[in-house]
Amino acid sequence: MKISESNANYGRQLYMREVSEANQAKQGSEANGQQRSSGDKVTLSRDSRDMQIARDAIMNTPDIRTEKVEELRNEVKEGRYAVSADKVADKIIASAINEYV
C-alpha cells in the first residue's frame, strides 16, 4: 500500500477533529457543572470505525490470488501469454509520474 501525503493529511484531519470534539464535550460538561468521571473513556468516530473495518478486511484478504497465478503460469507454459508493449510503457510512465507528483 502506497502512503501518499493526502492519506497522511486525512489521518491528521481525523485526529484533529476528534480532539476538537473531545475538547468541546469536556468544556460543555464543565460548563454545566458536571464532574468528570474518574475513569477514561474512548469513543471512536464513525470515520475511524469505517477505517478500522476496511483495515480488518484488507488484513483478512490473501496476498496471493492462487487461481490467477495458476492461470498465468499455464499461459506462460503453453506460450499463450502475450505482453502488450504499449500497456507496459503506459504503466512505466504512470508509475514515474506518480513518484514525482
In tens, the pLDDT along 51-71 reads 999 999 888 888 888 999 999
* Grid cell for residue 35: 464532574
For cell 470534539, the residue is: 21
pTM: 0.33
Is the pLDDT confidence value at 9 over 90? Answer: no
Using pLDDT thresholds of 50, 70 and 90, give the confidence band for residue 37. low
Residues sharing a CB contact under 8 Å with residue 83, sequence separation 6 or more, in sequence order: none
- Of 5, 15, 4, which Cα lies nearest the Cα of 51? 15
The DSSP output letter for 79 is T
* Average pLDDT of the segment spanning 22-28: 75
